[in-house]
Amino acid sequence: MNTLKLSFATVILAAWMPMASAAPLLDQEFDAFAAGSSGGATLIPRQILYQTFTVGLGGTLASVELQAQQDFDTPTDDLVVSILATSGGTPDPATVLGSVSVPPGAVPPADFSNVPFFSVDLSGLGIAVTPGEQLAIRLSQASADSRYFWYEAEDFVEEEEGTPPPSGFYAGGASFVGSDLASIPFVNTRVDVGFRTFVEPVVIPEPTSAGLLSMLFLGAYARRRREA
C-alpha cells in the first residue's frame, strides 16, 4: 500500500511537470552578401557544395538559413539540403545526419543585387547538437539539370602561403567543393558562403504549482514514514 501511494504521487508530479520547449535561437551566422559577395558557387552536374560550422548552443538543430538562389535558368528539381558530420575538419559524406528536399519555388530567384536568407526547416530530423561540435551543411541537386547558386564572400589574394583570410570571414568553419565521385577530393575554397543556424536549446523545466504541491506531498509522506 505504501509503495502504491508513493507511485501515485510520482505520477502526479510527472504529469504536472511537462518538458518545456524554447523558441529556436540564432547560433552561427555568416552574411556573405554583407561581406561583399558578387556571386557564388554554382551547383553544376556532379558538383556538391559544403559549409562547415562549429556549434555554439546545445540542443536540437531547428533550421538553417541560406543565402542561396535559383540559377538564371529556373530549376525544375529540388535543392537537397543535408547536415553531415565532419572528420579532420572536412565534411564526412559517409555520415549524413539528415536531409530535406526544398522545391524550386521555395528558393529565391536569381538576383545579384538582393540576396536574402531563406529558411529550411530541419526540426523534423531531430539532430541533437553539442557546443564545440563541428558539422557541415551540404547542398546538392536532385538532378544534373537543375542548378542553384550559394553566395560566397569576395575572394582574397593570398600574399604568402598560409595567409589567413581577412577579418569578416567565418572563423568556425570553411567552405568546400566536392563531387559525387569518390575519386575526386574535397577542395577548400577559402571563401565562406552565407548561412545561419538555429538551435532549439535544452531547457530544464520549472515546477508548476501542481508539481510543487506533489513535491510537498512526497516530503510530508516521507516524514510520516520516519515518525512511524
Asked if the model's pLDDT at residue 134 lies above 50, the reply is: yes
CA distance 221 to 7: 12
The better pLDDT of the pair 69, 188 is held by 69
Task: Give pLDDT tens digits for 178-214.
Answer: 887 666 777 887 788 999 999 999 776 665 555 555 5
Query: What integer is the mean pLDDT of 111-124?
Result: 93
Range list of H helices, the chain: 2-15, 209-227
Task: Give pLDDT tens digits for 12-40.
Answer: 444 445 555 689 999 999 999 888 766 77
CA distance 16 to 205: 11
Asked if the model's pLDDT at residue 222 lies above 50, the reply is: yes
Query: What integer is the mean pLDDT of 145-168?
Result: 64
Strands 187-188 and 195-201: unpaired
Supply the pLDDT for residue 217: 56
Residue that is written with C-alpha cell 504536472 in the block: 16
Query: What integer is the mean pLDDT of 108-134?
Result: 95
Query: What integer is the mean pLDDT of 121-145?
Result: 91
User: Which range (36-45, 58-67, 83-92) has the least confidence?
Assistant: 36-45
User: Which range (1-10, 13-22, 42-51, 102-111) has the least confidence?
Assistant: 1-10
Asked if the model's pLDDT at residue 159 lies above 50, the reply is: no
- How many residues are there in the chain? 228
CA distance 45 to 120: 23
Strands 59-66 and 118-121: antiparallel
What single DSSP character describes residue 113? Answer: T
Return mean pLDDT, the chain: 80
Supply the pLDDT for residue 55: 98
